[in-house]
Every structure is written in C-alpha cells, then in structure tokens.
Amino acid sequence: MLLQNATAVTPRMVALATAVPAHVLEQGAVAEAATTIFAGACGGFQHFAPVYDHADINRRHSCVPLEWFGLAHDFAERNGLFLDHAVALLAEAADAALVAAGLGPRDIDVLVTVSSTGMATPALDARVMNRLGFRPDVERLPIFGLGCAGGVLGLARAAAMARAAPGARVMLLAVELCSLTFRRDDRSVTNIIATALFGDGAAAAIVTCRDDRPGVVLGPWGEHTWPGTLDVMGWDMAADGFQVVFSREIPALVRDRLRPVVDDFLARHGIAWSGIAGFLCHPGGAKVLDALADCFVLDAAQLRHARATLRDHGNMSSVTVLFVLRAAMDAVARGRHLMTTLGPGFSAGMLLADLG
C-alpha cells in the first residue's frame, strides 16, 4: 500500500536502461529484401526504393531475422512472438535499471507499462513480475494506444504517480516490437515506407521522490490532442494483424501546428525559450526531424542525439525518445531539456527534463 502525501515534491529519474533484440537489420539488406517482397507493387517498387536511402537509418534491431519478413504470418503467431520477446526485453531493461539504481525488484512499488505493438492479457507488467520477482502488492498501470507519444507521456505518468505518492518508487517499462507488424502482402505506400523506418527496442526507468540521490528532474509535462485528426496516425486491424496508418501530412502538421502548442505549454509554466538548454525529440523519421528543426529553429547539433538514435535504431515508436534521453545522459548533457513526441490522437507530448 502506497502512502499518499499532498506535499509538493519533485520526481526524479534515478535510473534509465535500454535493451534491443539480437537481430541487426542493415538498411541495405532490408532494401534488397524489400525489392523481392514488393516486386510489382504500386506500379513498380523501384519508385519507392529511394525511401531506404533517404530515411537516414543505417541499421535497426529486430526480434525476428530478416528471412521472417518474406513469409506469411497470422495474427496469432505475431502476437505469440510479441509476448515472448516483449517480456524478455522488458526483463532485461528492468534488471539493468535496478542494478544501476542499486535496487532490487521488491523495492519497486508501481509499474507503469507502455506498449502499442501487441496485445497482452494478462498485461506485460504481470508477466514481467513473474519473471523478476516484484512484490505481489505492486501497483500496475498498463497503457496501450499512445503509440510514438508513449515515451514522453509514459514518463509523465510515472512522474505524476511518484509525485502523488512521494514514498513510492515507480518503474516505467516501455517496449515496442514494430517489426512484427510488417505485412508481406500489404502493398500500400504506408506499409512500404514503414519497412524503411521501424525497429524494436525496450527501456526501463525508475522515478521517485524519496531517494536522496542525483537524478534527472522531471517536470513540468503536458500534452495536446488536435481535434479531427484521428486518421493521422495509428493502427487499423486487419485479418493478419496491425495495419499501419500514418499521414504524409505529418511533417507539415509539425511545422504548422506544434510551435503554438509548445509556446503555450512553456508560458503556462513560466518558462522562456532561452531557458531551454537542449532538445530531446522523438525521431519519427528524417522528414519529421527536419520539420522539428524548422518548428523550433534548431541547427543540426541541437538534434544530434535524435538523429543518432534514428540512424542506429530506426523508429521504435514509444521507446525511441527514451533512447534519445539515454544518449544525452551518456554525452553528459546538462541543463533543462525539452522532450517532445507525437502520437495517435493526433497528439503531442511534452516534458521538461533537467539533466543537472
């Protein structure tokens, strides 16, 4: 049972660990395989081949080997693979975060779990509990459907729960296995583009107000959902699994609509743009990063962690921005950073993270 306390407190992230599956997909090999799989698609696959070169991605990690993508798979098989690999990756990331924080599974009071690339009932957190030995009275909050926004918004939910219960240690778990959503017989433009972008990964963070130790100070945070934009991003359900939905207008929406939302968010919390030391943006793709650079008037160096993450891991949906944060921490970045991401809804997530 968590002790509730209304006193104003400051949540801190005291550990962050990431994990990736074993298979490495080099972009050149993916493009070659796609040439065979999509031969004759959309009036000639050669029209889409440059997508792989222009994605600014060198490699990605996948829970399945490259040969898997050339075969047919039903939803039951895909989801079975999701359960096996998602739990294994979350356990790896959670264990690494606990070691980094000098804690054990029984020291965690709350689990917040984010994923949108597979279905799990019992939820992923219950399965990880059985794997690692968390206490049976740990509180669980599984979150599905935030998509790419889940990294920032999941971290915000974890911070809110830590602030509501200052004696608690909250663990955020995020995992996405985007590779399993690939559909060999889907000749749509969006599915073809997705093959050039998506990768797999997991992350675990520990957030608390109770430990007297250094950490990344979290907050304020916020979100915005634009009306009438349900068709911009998400999943449709097909007979063989998730069918990707994303609009070609996303970069334009970022350029035209995001800045006023972030301006309002910062103003509400009395924070000037001059007080932002760095930017940790979810790299949805190369064009989205270019749009973010235009939106926030950033030079190449200011998005270097996002671009490096995209280059080495691709778009891992909700997990990606946590990899970006990890990269900034490893580079010993300092000061208040603005984390942003975009997801189904169509929604923006924002969080200020002070790296010290």
CA separation (Å) from 65 to 188, 317, 352? Answer: 23, 20, 37
Of 323, 248, 242, 223, residue with least CA distance to 282:
323
Hey, CA dihedral for 183, 189, 193, 198, is it positive or negative? negative
Calculate ∠ Cα 9-223-286, nearest 5°: 120
Residue type, 28: G
Beta carbons within 8 Å of 57's beta carbon, 6+ residues apart = 27, 196, 197, 310, 311, 314
Report CA torsion sign: 137, 139, 145, 146. negative
Kindly tell me the burial class for residue 39, based on how many C-beta atoms sit within 10 Å of its own C-beta (0-12, 13-18, 19 or more): exposed
The amino acid occupying position 321 is V
> Which one from 63, 148, 281, 295 is the annotated catalytic residue?
148
Amino acid at site 100: A
Neighbours of 327 (CB within 10 A): 19
According to DSSP, the residues that pair with 236 across neighbouring strands are 243
Q: Answer yes or no: 281 catalytic.
A: no
Strands 139-143 and 336-343: what pairing?
unpaired
Catalytic residue IDs: 148
